[in-house]
């Protein structure tokens, strides 16, 4: 999650608490299905859990064959990622990308509803960043060759791609990320695909609770917390999303939508900052925010959707909060109720 960079950037958006319940039966957002645990349910049981709770979208971080097999015929919309380590090969040629696609994705296209294919996760900036754009181009060629018009190619980035970022209207891409991001967003503009972003208000709050208001981080503030010119921000997530819109606009790209590919709040691992009640409040309000089909102050015309991180507490992640982002225990029981 590129935690240090994310914390520093989210802190720039910083600044009393009532809980909003979700009563609707349908969760019209996605949940990330991570698998870094040795006690998790079988993929078939996981798919049944998504269906039981009417979770219609799943993000898979890699093309896990058992998970994709379990998804056959389920109707669940899947955002599927490549492994970061596979990017150099996929980027090397269209033929190499086709080999990867034919091995990992094509066998499931007839009865798994794969809607997005992400070339890497949080790769920019970094050593593998140079491979993202050519990998996206090659995968787009493969998908177009098959005529899969409903499958869009994208990538997932963290807030670490932003440099100047507060207030949102002066946001830019960082020097380390800019060259790669400009190429990526221009590709997305030409292909009509969204950019996926990971946004975690929790880390800003936990790092500086004096200056980062809990109500601003948790969608519970009454009225405006941050005023940016004519734009009013009642919550941190919308400010971060708009920072991305402003950064893209400064590069001449105004028609790329954003999808929140990860956001969540841990229920344990960092004392009073990570209680089940706080996690429940954040995720219930995140669901409500996504289900409202509303935009942001900068782009009220663009519905903002996304994914909660994550489906399960994963015991093989680093100790602490990383093990406690799950909505469910490995037994399949809720850590707390969201839907």
Q: What amino acid positions are annotated as catalytic residues?
A: 122, 262
Sequence-distant (≥ 6) Cβ neighbours of residue 303 within 8 angstroms:
293, 294, 295
DSSP helix/strand/coil, 173: strand
- The CA distance from 75 to 124, in Å, is 32
Order the strands of the 152-158 sheet from edge to edge: 258-262, 195-198, 152-158, 113-121, 77-81, 55-60, 27-33, 307-308
Helix (H) or strand (E) segment spanning residue 139? helix 132-146
In angstroms, the CA 244 to CA 238 distance is 10
Whole-number Cα distances in Å, 259 to 33, 178, 294? 17, 20, 13
């Amino acid at each position: 999650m590129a935690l240090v960079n994310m914390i520093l950037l989210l802190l720039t958006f910083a600044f009393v608490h009532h809980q909003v319940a979700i009563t609707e039966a349908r969760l019209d957002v996605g949940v990330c299905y991570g698998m870094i645990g040795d006690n998790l349910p079988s993929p078939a049981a996981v798919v049944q859990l998504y269906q039981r709770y009417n979770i219609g979208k799943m993000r898979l971080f890699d093309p896990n064959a058992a998970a994709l097999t379990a998804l056959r015929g389920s109707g669940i919309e899947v955002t599927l990622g490549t492994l970061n380590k596979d990017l150099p090969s996929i980027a090397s040629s269209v033929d190499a990308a086709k080999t990867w696609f034919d091995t990992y994705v094509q066998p499931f296209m007839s009865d798994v509803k794969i809607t997005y294919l992400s070339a890497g996760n949080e790769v920019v900036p970094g050593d593998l960043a140079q491979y993202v754009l050519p990998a996206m181009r090659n995968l787009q060629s493969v998908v177009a060759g098959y005529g899969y018009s409903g499958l869009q190619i994208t990538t997932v980035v963290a807030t670490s791609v932003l440099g100047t970022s507060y207030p949102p209207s002066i946001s830019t891409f960082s020097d380390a990320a800019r060259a790669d991001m400009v190429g990526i967003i221009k590709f997305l503009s030409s292909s009509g695909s969204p950019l996926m972003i990971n946004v975690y208000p929790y880390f800003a709050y936990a790092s500086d609770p004096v200056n980062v208001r809990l109500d601003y981080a948790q969608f519970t503030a009454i009225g405006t917390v941050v005023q940016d010119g004519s734009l009013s921000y009642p919550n941190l997530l919308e400010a971060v999303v708009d920072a991305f819109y402003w950064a893209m606009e400064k590069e001449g790209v105004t028609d790329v939508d954003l999808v929140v590919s990860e956001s969540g709040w841990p229920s344990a691992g960092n004392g009073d900052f990570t209680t089940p009640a706080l996690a429940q409040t954040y995720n219930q309000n995140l669901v409500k925010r996504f289900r409202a089909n509303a935009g942001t102050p900068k782009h009220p015309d663009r519905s903002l959707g996304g994914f909660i991180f994550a489906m399960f507490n994963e015991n093989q992640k680093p100790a602490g909060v990383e093990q406690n982002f799950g909505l469910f225990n490995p037994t399949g029981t809720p850590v707390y109720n969201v839907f």
